[in-house]
Amino acid sequence: MAADGETMELDPREFDSVTFQKDPFPIYRRLRDYHPAFHDRFHNRWILTRYADVDAAFQDNQSFDRAIYDPDGDYDFGSRHIFGPNILEYGNSPQHRWLRNIVAGQFVGERLNVFLPIIDKIALEVISTFEKDGELELIRHFSSQFPIRVISNMLGLPREDEEMFVRWYQALIAGLGFGGEHLARGIAARNEMWEYLEPLIEIRRQNPGDDLLSRIAVAELEGKRMDIIEIKGFVALLLAAGGDTTDKAIANMWYHMLYTRPDVLPEVIADPELWSNVFTEMMRYDAVVHAQFRRTTREIPLHGEVIPKGASVILYLGGGNRDERTFKDPDVFDIHRDDLHMGRENRSGRYKDGKPGHLGFGMGPHFCMGYAMARQEAVIACAHLAKAMKNVRPKFATHPGITSPSIDSGGFRSPNELWIEFDRA
Ligand code: HEM
């Protein structure tokens, strides 16, 4: 139930407040308790926040569609998106399943294992640039550098071009959530990147190697390959979907170890396998992505309301992850909790151990394609960091905390800065 002093009433303008950006959890709780199917008339949308409802909506792709692109409508594929044409624009369609089937296999199992040495090498390389003992800002010096360099290396791009790729990435991410100049710079960076990629894609098609760009360039399903524009759109999407999210995940893991549960950090440092638990609990407690959008394709009766056909719906996975109907003491960050599936993600969201999974990667037909890669990257990076820095501690006793989108954040939740002190191991 809502905490003392909280009311049932909810003014939708609260969603636009700084308070909500910084700490959305009290509002999620009021929504779960009093308005489980909330009609936000001010923003013209519906909001779901209970674990069971968010999970069910993710799984029911037929009724809750993600499509922006409509092959029979006036929307030109990729035209309004900074990435250009990409899988996020497809909803419940054969095109989505085709694209997903052609690329998803590259990021799991044996194919992912081939890339693990790259992840390992890049983590150590970035750590080796830490200039002096004493202090550093973890996001600037590590987490914002590492995943994008991993992707560039996985794609098999020349190492001397890596800095350029990092610059394009930064411009694209800044352009993602914000209009005006940021958007214009983001689109210019994307076009430059596309120009750079095009001849490389042609070369890989004729003479493929084992890198990710070659694999995507020649992958075939039902006798068809992705065309050049689809490949370029997918690479652009990879930077945000795979780079920025993982960057923020690593920052959030360290934030929680340094400020939320410093008492647990020594245990995790002593047993690096526990970084995997830290990852899972971070994805539940304060996931990098809190909201996903859907459009209803039929009337949905729910909790005494009827969500009309064609309505915009926000699925607050950040709210579902804190649902006390599913998790005991949901507001406690506990890496040993026994009511959350702590192992690797399972696409169906149903586990043999009967425990629910976190909603941080979504669920169902659009479940994150990079779930295994993100976990591997985050766990490997955190273990290397912990080994390289002895006696690691926050530089400042207090921290403004994790926050939702601000300029240059790309729309994902994370701390803006994370200063740490350490002794070189
Ligand atoms: C911790 C890091 C990550 C988080 C929090 C995250 C989060 C998510 C979420 C919530 C979705 C569901 C979207 C929806 O239901 O509409 C999603 C989809 C997706 N993710 Fe991730 N992701 C992460 C890492 C990655 C990585 C490393 C890749 C690269 C391979 C990736 C590629 C994708 C793609 C391509 C989709 C669209 C899948 C589809 O529509 O079928 N993500 N991600």
Domain limits, the chain: 12-424
> Is the CB of residue 111 below 6 angstroms from any atom belonging to ligand 1?
no
Protein residue with its CA nearest to atom 4 in ligand 1: 245
CA 17 – ligand 1 centroid, Å: 27
* pLDDT computed for residue 365 by the predictor: 92
* pLDDT computed for residue 77 by the predictor: 72
* pLDDT computed for residue 177 by the predictor: 66
* pLDDT computed for residue 17 by the predictor: 87
Q: Which ligand 1 atom sits closest to the C-alpha of 245? A: 2
Q: Which ligand 1 atom sits closest to the C-alpha of 107? A: 30
Q: How confident is the model at residue 340 (pLDDT cuts 50, 70, 90)?
A: very high
* pLDDT computed for residue 184 by the predictor: 87
Residue type, 55: D
Inform me whether the pLDDT recorded for 291 exceeds 80: yes
Q: How confident is the model at residue 132 (pLDDT cuts 50, 70, 90)?
A: low
Inform me whether the pLDDT recorded for 112 exceeds 60: yes
> Is the CB of residue 245 below 6 angstroms from any atom belonging to ligand 1?
yes
Q: What's the Cα-to-Cα distance from 7 to each of 30, 37, 91, 227, rounded to whole Å?
A: 8, 17, 37, 53
Q: How confident is the model at residue 6 (pLDDT cuts 50, 70, 90)?
A: low
CA 132 – ligand 1 centroid, Å: 35
Q: How confident is the model at residue 24 (pLDDT cuts 50, 70, 90)?
A: very high
CATH superfamily of 12-424: Cytochrome P450 (1.10.630.10)
Tell which wins on pLDDT, 404 or 195: 195
Q: Residue 191 contacts by C-beta under 8 Å, 6 or more apart in sequence?
A: none
- Residue 258 has a CB neighbour count (10 Å cut-off) of 21
Please tell me the chain's helix, strand, coil percentages from 3-state DSSP, rounded to the nearest 5: 50, 10, 40
| Tens-digit pLDDT profile for residues 346-371 | 877 788 888 999 999 999 999 999 99
